[in-house]
């Protein structure tokens, strides 16, 4: 904590002396200075923060050093002040604010943000690492902040991917060894590439070990056949690696994830085994019909 007399040691953000919201026009300036982690000082109103945060409720100083950047705190304050229209929540806003909101126990705002997510998840969760709703990024966030309900939603989504055989793109990235690839009739050298997108392989068949191209079936679009299960998108020498996001999960969450996925894969295997007798009988009937047909 610093006293108000030490404000001069920080960079005063003049644009933040008055929040850019109409309700404050003509009102007294804020009586509380928030010194953000980037050194910028934001002027706010203590009564607003006391109502919103149990952590800041008992603050005695008029200057508080807080965790989080000034840009994050501006977003948070715009959600806390009684303004109309209030800035609409979005996935990017939730990700930007949730750590500060959780850290300072802003219960009502946190509930509003989680409600925003729960209305959209799991329907809008994605297995695509490039998506703003990529399931692993939300699982890491939920694990870090101990948001159990969000964590459970992500886990259920991953189990569904495993059962449907679409988990590879979500948890694995691949490293392509240096290889000769054909491009426009010429040969080019490809080094170690991570996370090759489907678009980069669209219409191009990866070469065999001898360097020859087999002519392309093209890559499947997102949400369809996974890259690992589609031989047309894999180089013979490609090797999978765990996606970086897995390294940020706690041990307990990793263990639960592994157990859940093993169970889902086992259920998928059992499901396919049950279908086999019927499929075999159909194949036999077709063969017998062909055998009876005249040449």
pLDDT in tens, 8-40: 334 445 444 444 433 355 566 788 889 999 988
Please report the pLDDT score of residue 8 as a whole number.
36
Non-local (6+) Cβ contacts of 221 within 8 A are 198
> Domain of 23?
4-90
Please state, as a whole number, how many other Cβ atoms lie within 10 Å of the Cβ of residue 196. Answer: 20
Q: Per the confidence metrics, is the pTM higher than 0.85?
A: no
Residue 184 lies inside a defined structural domain of this protein: yes
* Last residue in a domain, options 39, 70, 90: 90
Q: Is residue 284 part of a domain?
A: no
Q: Is residue 247 part of a domain?
A: no
Residue with tokens 């894969």: 265
> Which domain-ending residue is among 44, 75, 90?
90
For 75-117, write each residue's pLDDT tens digit. 999 999 887 788 899 999 999 999 999 999 999 999 999 999 9
Among candidate residues 218, 241, 264, the one where a domain is terminated:
241
Give SS3 for 46.
helix
Q: What is the pLDDT of residue 2?
A: 38
The verdict on residue 110 lying in a domain is no
Q: Does a structural domain hold residue 25? A: yes
Higher-pLDDT residue of 59 and 71 is 71
Query: What is the number of domains present in the chain?
Result: 2
Residue 265 lies in a domain: no
Which CATH number characterizes residue 73's domain? Answer: 3.30.710
Distances 71 to 26, 157, 192, 285 between C-alpha atoms, Å: 24, 32, 36, 68
pLDDT digit string, tens, across residues 162-212:
777 677 667 766 555 555 444 444 333 333 334 333 333 333 333 333 333
Kindly state whether residue 198 falls inside one of the protein's structural domains.
yes
In this structure, is residue 127 part of a structural domain? no
Measure the CA–CA gap between 91 and 213, rounded to whole angstroms.
41
Q: What percent of the chain has pLDDT over 90?
A: 32
């Amino acid at each position: 904590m610093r006293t108000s007399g030490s404000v001069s040691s920080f960079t005063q953000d003049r644009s933040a002396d008055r929040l850019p919201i109409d309700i404050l026009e003509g009102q007294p300036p804020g009586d509380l200075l928030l010194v953000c982690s980037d050194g910028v000082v934001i002027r706010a109103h203590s009564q607003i923060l006391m109502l919103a945060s149990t952590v800041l409720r008992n603050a005695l100083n008029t200057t508080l050093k807080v965790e989080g950047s000034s840009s994050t705190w501006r977003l948070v304050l715009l959600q806390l002040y009684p303004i109309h229209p209030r800035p609409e929540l979005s996935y990017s806003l939730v990700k930007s604010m949730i750590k500060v909101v959780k850290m300072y126990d802003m219960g009502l705002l946190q509930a509003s943000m989680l409600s925003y997510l729960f209305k959209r998840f799991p329907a809008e969760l994605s297995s695509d690492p490039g998506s703003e709703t990529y399931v692993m990024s939300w699982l890491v966030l939920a694990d870090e902040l101990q948001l159990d309900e969000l964590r459970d939603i992500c886990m259920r989504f991953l189990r569904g991917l495993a059962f449907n055989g679409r988990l590879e793109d979500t948890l694995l990235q691949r490293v392509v060894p240096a290889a000769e690839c054909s491009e426009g009739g010429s040969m080019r050298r490809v080094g170690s590439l991570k996370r090759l997108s489907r678009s980069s392989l669209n219409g191009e068949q990866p070469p065999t070990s001898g360097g020859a191209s087999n002519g392309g079936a093209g890559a499947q679009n997102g949400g369809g056949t996974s890259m690992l299960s589609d031989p047309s998108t894999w180089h013979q020498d490609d090797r999978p690696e765990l996606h970086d996001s897995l390294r940020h999960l706690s041990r307990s969450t990793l263990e639960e994830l592994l157990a859940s996925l093993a169970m889902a894969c086992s259920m998928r295997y059992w499901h396919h085994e049950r279908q086999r007798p019927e499929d075999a009988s159909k194949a036999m009937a077709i063969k017998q019909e062909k055998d009876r047909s005249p040449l």
